[in-house]
Structure 1
Amino acid sequence: MTYRGAVVDLDGTVVRGGDPIPGALDALTALRERVDRVLFLTNNPTVPPAEYARRLRALGADATAAEVLTATTATIHYLRERHAEDDVLPIAEESIAAQLRDAGLTLTDDAEAAGVVVAGYHREFHYRDLQTALDALDDDTALVGTDPDRTVPTESGRKPGSGAIVNAVAGVADREPEAVLGKPSETTARLAADRLGVPARECVLVGDRLDTDVAMGESVGMTTVLVRTGVDGDEEVSESEAKPDHVVDSLADVPALLG
């Protein structure tokens, strides 16, 4: 099999916290020698693509902003398609709100004025945020989540992620979100394919999560590789509906799979 594109997760696959996972940078160089296009795909909604690319370059990896697709990028695309005229009330950190604002969306902190509530990663999440969301989410107001990751891997262990906030808001409002972006959403899969410009069957997707990375790759027909350096491992594979084509110790093992 000849692969032309590679989709690579970041947190838990290339980096852990701010540090590269051993062997990951050399593996990225080797991947670029084997495929035509590389796309970094992350459910971290807090860091803009340009900043992610800058951080990767500072670590020694080739990367441009156009090669980074984030959960917030996908959320912005979704909002532009479905809620371009609506005022957006973010229940999320300022770094996420700033990206929405910079994309030209109209933000509000007025619950009555909101046409859509966007819930995402929020380390200062407070009871008052739940009250604001509850006040805003009437029958005419949509709820959108940036990504489903309930936890995120860090150098000091797992921490609550966006999914925890999305689920809390959805629970108090007693409703399902209209959409949750990031992996494995159809919107994100479509954006990734558009960025690569390569048929899914000619792409390999590498990540550390079964329910997001592997599930998205499976849904569009990519070859999927699970690395053991992040959230999921062999025990989770045995219990999961999503089944990776390969399970390896780390990203360093992936170039050899491609020949």
Structure 2
Amino acid sequence: MRTRFAGALVDMDGTLYRGDDPIPGASTAIETLREAGVAVQFLTNNATNSPERYVEKLADMGIEATAADVVTSGLVTADYLSREHADDRAYVVGEDALFAALDDAGVTVTDTPTEAEVVVLSLDTALDYDLFTGVLRAIHPGTPIVATNPDRTKPGTDGLVPSTGLVVGGVEGMTGRAPDVIAGKPSVVAARFALDRLGVDAADCLLVGDRLDTDVEMGATVGTTTVLVRTGVTDDSTLEASQIEPDHVLDSIADIESVLHDAPPE
């Protein structure tokens, strides 16, 4: 079966798996997309793992991928900083995968708050008082704040767990400042990075994810066909109350074949 879609941006957490548990039918759904001629790019707002680690995780679930098939918010953030803050020293809250992405992109990182020229916020599961003290001292009037993503929570194996919103909220509570830039979903920065890597126009692309405020909002902003799956954080009451409307709502990505027959807009 062929389809009009040339590409798909597919979220991972809550769409292909919850924690370490794969969503039933997820691997078959990816095969269905590829057999229909759809190029697949895996897209996640989680900056705590490298693309290589995601390749291993997907392989354990029967999904083939290469590192070039995976876009993390860490990669998008590193690319953004390398372009917009190429000569600036970054004070970073995050884990090893983010630091590695920044290093690969040539971003200069400092662990001295007073040297900071840009502050980067991401999830650090080893949060402590000293870390927040460092961030507070790194943020001067006019210091840009860049967050890898805005997610308050993410799906875990046994339920929701905190995400980068824990850090962003803490910093905003201290300083009264929200991030100046969100690099990951739902930003156009992330969308353009992923679409450019995929080599597909937004109008010919699916965006599949479990979040209205990141996945679906981003897809709608840039003009993809949006698909919300119910296997992550969005329940019926949230969907009904939201002003963000996906083009399709599926119980699971396992039902993706039904979307491939979608007619082009008039």
Which residue number in structure 1 is paired with residue 79 of structure 2?
Answer: 77
Indicate the residue corresponding to 1:95 in structure 2: 97
CA drift of 1:94 comes to 3.3
Partner Cα distance (1:144, 1:66) in 2: 24
Q: What is the alpha-carbon distance in structure 1 between the residues aligned to residue 80 and residue 45 of structure 2?
A: 15
Separation in 2 of the partners of 1:95 and 1:126? 19
Alignment of 1:235-254 (within 5 A): 235-254=237-256
Q: Structure 1 residue aligned with 2:33, among 25, 28, 31?
A: 31
Size of the aligned set, in residue pairs, is: 259
The AA in structure 1 aligned to 2:7 is G
SS of the aligned residue for 1:89 comes to: strand
* 8 Å contact kept, 2:82–2:105: no
TM-score (normalised: structure 1): 0.95
Q: Which amino acid aligns with 2:51?
A: P
Whole-Å separation in 1 of the counterparts to 2:190 and 2:219:
11
Tell me by how many angstroms 1:167 deviates. 2.1
Could you tell me which runs of 5 or more consecutive residues in structure 2 were left unpaired when the two chains were aligned.
262-266
Q: How far apart, in 2, do the equivalents of 1:92 and 1:69 lie?
A: 17
Show the counterpart of 2:155: 153
Deviation at 1:212?
Answer: 0.3
User: How far apart, in 2, do the equivalents of 1:147 and 1:163 lie?
Assistant: 8
Residue of structure 2 equivalent to 1:62: 64
Moved over 3 A (4+): none
Shift of 1:109: 1.1
Select 2:168's aligned residue among 166, 169, 178: 166
Alpha-carbon distance in 1 for matches of 2:96, 2:199: 32
Deviations 1:213-232 (A, max 9, x none): 00001001111111110000
1:9 alignment counterpart: 11
Q: How does 1:123-162 map to 2 (within 5 A)?
A: 123-162=125-164
Identity in percent: 47
Shift of 1:35: 3.2
The 8 Å contact of residues 226 and 244 in structure 1, kept in 2 or not, is answered as yes
Tell me if the contact between 1:71 and 1:146 (Cα under 8 Å) persists in the aligned partners.
yes
Letter aligned with residue 135 of structure 1: R
- Aligned mates of 1:202, 1:38 — CA distance in 2: 12
Amino acid of the residue matched to residue 230 of structure 2? R
Partner in structure 1 of residue 202 of structure 2? 200
Determine the C-alpha separation between the residues in 2 that align with 1:247 and 1:7.
16
Local SS of the residue matching 1:247: strand
- CA 1:94/1:199 → structure 2, altered by over 3 Å: closer, same or farther? closer
Mapped partners of 2:223, 2:98: distance in 1: 31
Contiguous gaps of at least 5 residues in structure 1: none
**What TM-score do the two structures reach when normalised by structure 2?**
0.93
User: RMSD of the alignment, in Å?
Assistant: 1.4
Contact 1:46–1:93 (CA under 8 A) maintained in structure 2: yes
Amino acid at match of 2:129: Y
After alignment, is 103-112 or 222-231 more displaced? Answer: 103-112
C-alpha separation in 2, matches of 1:94 and 1:60: 26
Where 1:112 maps in the other structure, the secondary structure is helix
Distance in 1 (CA, whole Å) between partners of 2:188 and 2:133 is 30
| Post-superposition CA distance 1:85-142 (Å, at most 9, x none) | 1111112223322332343222111011111111111112122222111111112422
Bigger shift: residues 194-203 or 6-15:
194-203
